[in-house]
Amino acid sequence: MDMDKIDNLELWKRRRKILNQKLWDLLLAGNIKRPEKPKYEIIAKGEQAEKMIEENLKYVFKAFPSEKKLYPELTYKWHGPVTWDTFIISYPGWPGEPSQRAILRIPKSRNNPLPAVLCFHGHGRGCLLGKSEMDYIALPLTAKGYITLCPDATRWEDRRDKTYEKAEINDFKGMAFYSERNLAMPLLYKGQTLLGVIIWEHMIAVDVLQSMDFVDLNKIGTIGTSMGGVQSFWLSAMDKRITCGVESCGVSSFEVWSQEKTLNALVNFIPHILRHTDWGEIGGLIAPRPFMCLDAAQDGFFPLRGIKSTHKIMYNIFNLYNASEKFKKHIHTGGHLFIDKHIELAFKWLDYWLTK
């Protein structure tokens, strides 16, 4: 729909009701029921959990030594006091897939329920790395007093399909993404999508957080960069329980991707979506809940023209709610990176909306 023709809130509300159902049809061939009252299990805690995280990183660095230099955030070290407890937990996932795995960190000092932030990882070379890459975001947030949950997306890290892993590493240097492909393609045959599965699973993660009596049910945020930004954006759009969110280098436009022949991942493919909508309207589903877009002018995966189009439409929709202050955007001049300035802006945004 041409958003220039939606100039009043009631018209948009009618549109969003139709759009929400249509998106579930496109993502999963319908809004599939989640497990009721999902339970979580502690797999490891304390030093054992930290060792599991360290081993995941070591495996990636052995497979792809250049990752240390390309992504310095993977070697992030926290130098302050450790004021939290660390757990690896599991909880139900997509039918037929391994249970979800996530790193849960809980501040030791807490008198009242605390805000929680879901921290989403990127695309991860060869799907080898997921939740374990998020220390550079999760540890500072936990130190600030947030409960943080860093889940593995479907088919990443602990949940990856290892059938062709030797070829993935040795022959294709992590660029075949067999683990992703081996689920995305069968889903597409059935009219479903990997992105739909991932968002559906993250809604279970929200269910799990809301089952914890130390989590403030009304203060759950999201943050992520690259594919993590995609997850933050889409979960915020599809789940009203998300209080506020931040994406970094994770929005563009399906139309622009098509026109500019952008190199893209299977997780971003949603058949027929341009018959119905594009990223700007989808982001509009978040309104009037607070959301921040932090993007890059030279991003080779998320073209600037698509970024600007999405930002403009989102701003217009937030403005229909007289809530333009709840949508913020910033574009840095570089490439596909979550730069320090943007991380600082993201943390301030989460603080403003989740701790006041």
In the predicted structure, residue 73 carries a pLDDT above the cut 90: yes
pLDDT band with cut points at 50, 70 and 90 for residue 4: low
* List of residues 6+ apart from 163 with CB closer than 8 A: 178, 182
Q: How far is CA 170 from the centre of its chain?
A: 29
pLDDT band with cut points at 50, 70 and 90 for residue 1: low
Higher pLDDT, 305 or 1: 305
On whether the CB atoms of residues 128 and 172 are closer than 8 A, the answer is no
pLDDT of residue 263: 84
DSSP string covering 324-344? GGGEEEEEESSSS---HHHHH
Average pLDDT, the chain: 96
The whole domain housing 42 covers 3-354
Higher pLDDT, 157 or 69: 157
pLDDT of residue 3: 60
Q: What is the distance between the alpha carbons of residues 97 and 217, in angstroms, rounded to a whole number?
A: 28
Span 134-169, pLDDT tens digits? 999 999 999 999 999 999 999 999 999 999 999 999
Query: In this structure, which amino acid lies at residue 255?
Result: E
Span 104-114, pLDDT tens digits? 999 998 888 99
How many structural domains are present in the chain?
Answer: 1
User: CA-CA distances (angstroms) from residue 57 to 48, 71, 138, 205, 333?
Assistant: 15, 12, 16, 23, 30
DSSP at 153: P
In the predicted structure, residue 212 carries a pLDDT above the cut 60: yes
CA-derived radius of gyration, the chain: 19
On whether the CB atoms of residues 80 and 185 are closer than 8 A, the answer is no
| Domain CATH number, residue 346 | 3.40.50.1820
User: CA-CA distances (angstroms) from residue 166 to 157, 163, 185, 266?
Assistant: 15, 8, 21, 21
pLDDT of residue 110: 84
pLDDT of residue 356: 82
- Percent of the chain surpassing pLDDT 70: 99
In the predicted structure, residue 88 carries a pLDDT above the cut 80: yes
Model pTM score? 0.97
Among 236, 242, 234, which residue's Cα sits nearest to residue 193? Answer: 234
